[in-house]
Chains A and B, each alone.
Chain A
Amino acid sequence: MAQQIIFFILAAMIAVFSVLAVTSKRIIRSATYLLFVLLGTAGLYLLLGYHYLFAVQIAVYAGGVMVLFIFAILLTNRPGENVKTERKDRRIAAGITSLAGLAFCGHIIYWNVNKMYTLVVPAEQKIQDIGLTLMGTDKYQYLLPFEFISVLLLACIVGAIMIARKR
């Protein structure tokens, strides 16, 4: 019961804030709403039993990324200025399309998905398993992607410095 209520709260939070994030006039507010969405997502991870993912989500997203965002916003925006939106017709078109997509996908989910699964009680994942899987080279083990990601991260670091440094 508690789980359901928590879920409901989280779901409502995510839905409301994500909509607010994209419709808000002030960019700083959007970022704040985004932060709530990310936190809500982290909550969902927790609810699903992925504790590690919850931690990563909080640390990387809500921590790292959001800080970047806020800095960027503060650097590029004059306070109090409204964010420009697209032309009205485009916004309407975008809205209609999004709603259509939402309806269509919702329809599929509502009518089709519930017949496909059996719920297994969420069990906590052991952090050792995660570590082993991440470092292994066997089937269903992810050393190679891990290395790729690390190289990618390195590249990003270098790239970001290169791009952003003063000439």
Chain B
Amino acid sequence: MGDLFINFFSNPVPMEAYLGVSLIMFFAGVYGFLSRKSLLMILVSIELMLNAADINFVVFNRYLYPGQMEGFFFTLFAIAIAACETAVAIAIIINIYRNLTSVEVGELDEMKE
């Protein structure tokens, strides 16, 4: 354990540290996705997972293919798409709330207006 700390602080930040962070973030997102009922919370969880993925892309780009920019752009586009998605999702959520006064997934089994 001591070695680990010494290594960590003496060397540049290793890739697995970044990956570990994104991992925690991702599985927190997964847990949130599975355990929450509110659509908004699910959306929050999705954002978490997307961010985790974004970090991974960037990290891989930086550590494995430093001369290229694929990961970077992927993340860029992912952020853009995530923004779109959030916008639409929130529009839908608000609309649902307007109709059903609820944003709980369990209660949304009717497709009617």
Contact = CB atoms under 8 A, between A and B. Distances in A.
Interface centre among A86, A106, A164 (most CB of B within 10 A): A164
Interface residues of B, number: 69
B76 A4 contact: no
Contact of B37 (A18, A47, A50, A86): A86
B103 A76 contact: yes
Contacts of A64: 83
Given A45-B58, A72-B40, A90-B34, A160 B15 contact: no
Nearest to A93: B34
Contact of B13 (A7, A110, A153): A7
Given A60-B80, A101-B30, A114-B16, A65 B47 contact: yes
Given A7-B17, A18-B28, A30-B41, 20 more contacts: A4-B12, A11-B21, A22-B29, A22-B35, A30-B44, A34-B48, A37-B25, A44-B58, A61-B79, A69-B90, A75-B97, A76-B93, A83-B38, A84-B37, A86-B34, A113-B19, A117-B64, A120-B66, A142-B73, A164-B92
Interface of A: 1, 3-5, 7, 10-11, 14-15, 18-19, 21-23, 27, 30-31, 34, 37-38, 41, 44-45, 47-50, 52-53, 56-57, 60-61, 64-65, 68-69, 71-73, 75-77, 83-86, 90-91, 93-95, 97-99, 101-102, 105-106, 109-110, 113-114, 116-122, 125, 129-130, 133-134, 140, 142, 145-146, 149, 152-153, 155-157, 159-161, 163-164
